[in-house]
Amino acid sequence: MAAYIGTSQSRIDGVKKVTGAAKYAAEFNAPRLAHGSIVASTIAKGRITHIDTSGAKRVAGVIDVITHQNRPSMADNDQAYKDEVAPLGSPFRPLYNDKVAFNGQPLALVVAETSEIARAAASLVRVEYAEEPHVTDLFRQRDATIPVPPPTNPIEALFTPPKARGTPEQALAAAAVRHEGDYYVPIENHNPMELYAATAVYETDGKLTVYNKTQGVQNVQRYVCSVFGLKPENVRVMSPFMGGGFGSGLRPNFEVVLAVQAALALRRPVRVVLTRPQMYALGYRPAMIQRIAIGANTGGTLDAITHDAITVTSQNEEFFRQETGWSGLLYKSANAKYAHRLARLDRPTSCDMRCPSAATGVYALEAAMDELAVALKLDPLELRLRCYSDRDQNNDRPYSSKALRECYAQGAAAFGWERRNPEPRSMRDDGDLVGWGMATGVWDAMQMPITVRIALGANGHAEVACATSDIGTGTYTIMAQVAADMLGLPLENVSINLGDSTLPQSPVEGGSWIAASVSNGIATTARAICDDLLRLAKAMPSSPLANIAPDAVALVDGKLVSRQDATRAVAIADVMRHGGIDRIEQEKTTSPVPDEGRAHNTHSAVFAEVKVDEQLGVIRVTRVVSAIAAGRILNTKTAASQILGSVVWGIGMALQEETVIDHRFGRVMNANIAEYHVPVNADVHEIKVIFVDEPDDSNPLGVKGLGEIGIVGVAAAIANAVYHATGKRVRDLPITLDKVIGVA
């Protein structure tokens, strides 16, 4: 039954990727393909008073320049621009009118016979503006925030701070030991390797095939149809491969609008590829100021915890996730209170970035817990154990499973935590200060309705189809593993078809919910195929399966077999031959089983070692151990890759990543990967990933998903290690060397 599930399997798409056979959005070709290059605003707020495109149009090879004045017709209401994961508010409409809402906003698209001509000509477009005052500094808006709006549906409710409990103010005031602090996370930009791109192929019959980098082909398809008033059957969106999403491709981005505008206007195929600087005009992780107050008794249990957050959104939309509620969820405390407000800036709308809310909210919590441990003179791990909660206190319910204790135990053992000298600046290696820090991680385990189609042939090959994406997480591979096991086939006999809006329904790939959703979807559909085969098998003359119940058979090694008695079996090929068919096709929708009575979460314990050059303040993360509890692991190799990648990102979040804005112009100053620092090979040392056993019955396969949990806690573990090494507490990320220099 489980030949492949739970094993280490290389990606089934790996060869295609390393040989270049896997095609990305900017690599699809079409006859007469034209190329668009964006002209972006150089002001943060105002109106366009004049666009002079004459210079660009005179360049040989330029076909046209599309602006708000000559674009094709677009919807005039916000609802048409609301994609599947749009926040409240009025979504940005590319090239819609003369309004400028952020620096870097696309204002025109120069379309030419080659991308080089388009790009050169774009530099000749002259834009005149009527400028208006802008604000892009979170700290300037700190006193002009708005509360997060009340939820209007269950999804929004997920993002709204939980209800307070007890009497947190009184409990804080009465607590024997208190810690209070402000924690800052800057704007961070996703920097996936693949640039956002759309190749919009306009066919002679007016149909559009759009190859777009996206985490949700059906989300983009519906959006394009509603924005441009196109019939659903005339628009197909494809994204078979994606070079990294991390949340930046959950919503349709402006490149797809621009490519479709030009394709419709010119009635020919058009490709738009963003430049790396233009990627910084998309969504981003919102900057945030978080305030945590914890009151404890001297024994190391919590009396009260309060968590306030101010996060950044745009003027036109209200994007927020729920940073604060993790605090009273993770640790036992009778009193808890949360508050979340939004600061509007003249910037694009912020968006999801890997583990939105927990990566940031738990950073603040776990740094604060480390400070509390110091105040209590208690080992930071021991503090977590004393506050351990077996119940979700925000909603007063048990967990479907929570193996966090095992994460602490196995992570600490692998790291050698018991050898830690608690005194800051007490550990050294070859002149460097050595610091050991730890933190907890938590994320949601979610499942979404999804539809899967499977066609099983008499030749023992199966085709599995679903419109999900594989954003680089390994979805192709886990889908094939689950299908192979459920259908009793070798892995290589399963082919996976995804990333195409014409395939059966899938939500966007995000929130770590696709593994649980699609694997259980495949299991359901495979079961339906098994049932069909059994019906046919029973009709066979002297069938060995004549009186057997559907749940008493399974598909194993190309045969339909009794679970009790393996000698009672019929080959699939024989069943189909007798039934007069050569394939069976089934399409089933699988929804999560409602289970409001229990909380569903993944957890982690992260241990980090840093070495700090005492004179220069240079910090190296020399070791990380991440112990993860995420239910059943479908593929130990791709799963470990997810966690490794997350830990690397956590190193960047702790020490390097920061989008810097020149507030005079509201413009990103480091919109390139030379000056926006991310960890490179030399920054990444030993990382050990441990998956602890965590049986879970939330869904039949016990899968929780782990695309995001791996980043949670990493920045805090590193920040705590930096404190332990240096004795200096830095609460503002990233912890660059100027903040710790001269700690000697």
CB closer to ligand MOS, 197 vs 625: 197
Does 705 contact ligand MOS by CB under 6 A? no
Segments in 7-99 forming alpha helices (H): 14-19, 54-57
Give min distance, CB of 214 to ligand MOS, in A. 11
Give min distance, CB of 482 to ligand MOS, in A. 21
CB closer to ligand MOS, 157 vs 737: 157
CB closer to ligand MOS, 321 vs 337: 321
Segments in 183-272 forming alpha helices (H): 217-228, 254-266
Does residue 73 sit in helix, strand or coil? coil
Nearest in space to 569 (alpha carbons), one of 560, 577, 579 = 560
CB closer to ligand MOS, 468 vs 524: 468
Using the rule CB under 6 A, which residue among 242, 353, 608, 690 binds ligand MOS? 353
Using the rule CB under 6 A, which residue among 13, 188, 308, 352 binds ligand MOS? 352
Catalytic residue among 188, 371, 657, 708: 708
**Binding span for ligand MOS by CB under 6 A among 296-304, 329-337, 346-354, 718-726:** 346-354
Residue 89, by phi and psi: left (phi above 0), alpha (psi -120 to 50) or beta?
A: left
CB closer to ligand MOS, 85 vs 522: 85
CB closer to ligand MOS, 442 vs 560: 442
CB closer to ligand MOS, 348 vs 511: 511
- Spatial separation of the C-alpha atoms in residues 136 and 64, rounded to whole Å: 34
> Is-contact 720 591, C-beta < 8 A?
no
Give min distance, CB of 595 to ligand MOS, in A. 21
Does 511 contact ligand MOS by CB under 6 A? yes
**Binding span for ligand MOS by CB under 6 A among 74-82, 125-133, 347-355, 725-733:** 347-355
Total site size for ligand MOS, rule CB under 6 A: 11
**Binding span for ligand MOS by CB under 6 A among 26-34, 149-157, 246-254, 409-417:** 246-254
> Is-contact 626 648, C-beta < 8 A?
no
| DSSP string of 95-114, one letter each residue | TSSSEE-STT-EEEEEEESS
Does residue 67 sit in helix, strand or coil? strand
> Is-contact 482 597, C-beta < 8 A?
no
Strands 619-629 and 686-691 turn out to be parallel
> Is-contact 57 65, C-beta < 8 A?
yes
Does 247 contact ligand MOS by CB under 6 A? yes
- Spatial separation of the C-alpha atoms in residues 5 and 414, rounded to whole Å: 26
Give min distance, CB of 513 to ligand MOS, in A. 8
Does 246 contact ligand MOS by CB under 6 A? yes
Give min distance, CB of 182 to ligand MOS, in A. 25
Using the rule CB under 6 A, which residue among 118, 217, 250, 312 binds ligand MOS? 250
Nearest in space to 471 (alpha carbons), one of 642, 329, 594 = 642
Tell me whether residue 323 is one of the annotated catalytic residues.
no
**Binding span for ligand MOS by CB under 6 A among 130-138, 351-359, 390-398, 649-657:** 351-359
Does residue 172 sit in helix, strand or coil? helix
Give min distance, CB of 306 to ligand MOS, in A. 26
> Is-contact 314 103, C-beta < 8 A?
no
Using the rule CB under 6 A, which residue among 240, 325, 356, 474 binds ligand MOS? 356
**Binding span for ligand MOS by CB under 6 A among 219-227, 350-358, 630-638, 713-721:** 350-358
Does 245 contact ligand MOS by CB under 6 A? yes
Give min distance, CB of 307 to ligand MOS, in A. 21
Give min distance, CB of 711 to ligand MOS, in A. 10
> Is-contact 633 480, C-beta < 8 A?
no
CB closer to ligand MOS, 245 vs 361: 245
Nearest in space to 225 (alpha carbons), one of 203, 193, 257, 269 = 257
State which of positions 141-180 bind ligand MOS (CB under 6 A): none
**Taken in order 223, 228, 234, 238, is the CA torsion positive or negative?**
negative
**Binding span for ligand MOS by CB under 6 A among 90-98, 130-138, 243-251, 520-528:** 243-251
Q: Which helix or strand (DSSP H or E) is residue 242 part of?
A: none
Using the rule CB under 6 A, which residue among 11, 347, 354, 623 binds ligand MOS? 354
CB closer to ligand MOS, 296 vs 471: 471
> Is-contact 380 582, C-beta < 8 A?
no
CB closer to ligand MOS, 479 vs 690: 479
**209: which residues sit within 8 A by CB, 6+ positions away?**
200, 201, 203, 236, 237, 238
> Is-contact 346 45, C-beta < 8 A?
yes
Give min distance, CB of 433 to ligand MOS, in A. 34
CB closer to ligand MOS, 87 vs 510: 510
Q: Both tokens of residue 519?
A: 């694997």
Does 251 contact ligand MOS by CB under 6 A? no
Does 652 contact ligand MOS by CB under 6 A? no
Give min distance, CB of 159 to ligand MOS, in A. 12
Binding mask 101-140 for ligand MOS (x = CB under 6 A): ----------------------------------------
Q: Both tokens of residue 287?
A: 């900057």
Does 510 contact ligand MOS by CB under 6 A? yes
CB closer to ligand MOS, 446 vs 522: 446
| DSSP string of 456-519, one letter each residue | EETTS-EEEE------SSSHHHHHHHHHHHHHT--GGGEEEE-SBTTSSP---S-TT-HHHHHH
State which of positions 202-231 bind ligand MOS (CB under 6 A): 215
H/E/C letters for each residue in 378-434? CCHHHHHHHCECCEECCCCEEECCCCHHHHHHHHHHHHCHHHCCCCCCCEEECCEEE
**Binding span for ligand MOS by CB under 6 A among 240-248, 386-394, 398-406, 480-488:** 240-248
**388: which residues sit within 8 A by CB, 6+ positions away?**
331, 332, 404, 405
**Binding span for ligand MOS by CB under 6 A among 96-104, 352-360, 404-412, 532-540:** 352-360
Residue type, 685: H
Strands 34-40 and 270-273 turn out to be parallel
**Binding span for ligand MOS by CB under 6 A among 244-252, 291-299, 545-553, 681-689:** 244-252
Give min distance, CB of 190 to ligand MOS, in A. 9
Does 252 contact ligand MOS by CB under 6 A? no
Give min distance, CB of 184 to ligand MOS, in A. 21
- Spatial separation of the C-alpha atoms in residues 676 and 226, rounded to whole Å: 36
- As annotated, the active-site residues are 708
List of residues contacting ligand MOS (CB under 6 A): 215, 245-247, 250, 352-354, 356, 510-511
